[in-house]
Amino acid sequence: MMTLWNQNLETGIPEIDDQHRELFKHVDILFNNADADAASERVSKTLEFLEEYVEKHFYDEQLLHIDAQYPKREKHKKMHAAFVRVFKDLKQHYDTDGAKVTVLLKINRTVSEWLRIHIMVHDKDFTAYCKSLDK
C-alpha cells in the first residue's frame, strides 16, 4: 500500500501534523524498499527510526492532551500503548525472521492503516475538543 500523505489527514495542530508527515514519510520508505532489498540497511534503519519516533510522537501528543485537560486522554493513551506493542511485535518478527518482504509489507500495511484511522477518528477528535474550548 502506498501511504501518500493527503490533506484529509491534517488535524490543524501544526506540531502534530508535522510529526504525522514524518511518520508517513518513513512508512513510505518501507513500501518503496520492500521489493528491491528488504534486508537492506535502509529498511533496518527506517524500522529503528519508526520505533523511536512513534513513541516520541505519542508522548508529545499525550502532553498536549494533558495541557488541554482532554477528557479522553487516558483512552487515547491506551490506544497509543497498544499500537506500540503491535509495532514492536512486528519489528521483532522482522528482526528474527530474516527480513522477509512479506513481513515488511505487513508492517507497512499495519502501520499506515492504523495511523490513518487513528488520525481521522481520534486525533481529529482532539482537534474538535480544542476548537470547542476556543468558543
Query: Which residue lies nearer to Fe ion by CB, 17 or 61?
Result: 61
Site string for Fe ion, 47-86 (x = CB under 5 A): --------------x-------------------------
Structural contact between residues 28 and 2, judged by C-beta atoms closer than 8 angstroms? yes
Stretch that binds Fe ion, among 20-28, 38-46, 101-109, 122-130 (CB under 5 A): 122-130
Separation of alpha carbons 28 and 5, rounded Å: 9
Residue 11 CB, shortest distance to Fe ion, in Å, is 9
Query: Which residue lies nearer to Fe ion by CB, 17 or 123?
Result: 123
Residue 72 CB, shortest distance to Fe ion, in Å, is 10
Among all chains, which residue has been given the C-alpha cell 502501520? Answer: 111
Residue 79 CB, shortest distance to Fe ion, in Å, is 7
Separation of alpha carbons 3 and 29, rounded Å: 10
Q: What cell does 128 get?
A: 474538535
Query: Which residue lies nearer to Fe ion by CB, 23 or 107?
Result: 23
Separation of alpha carbons 115 and 99, rounded Å: 23
List, in order, residues 6 or more apart from 22 with CB less than 8 Å away: 53, 57
Residues within the interface to Fe ion (CB under 5 A): 61, 123
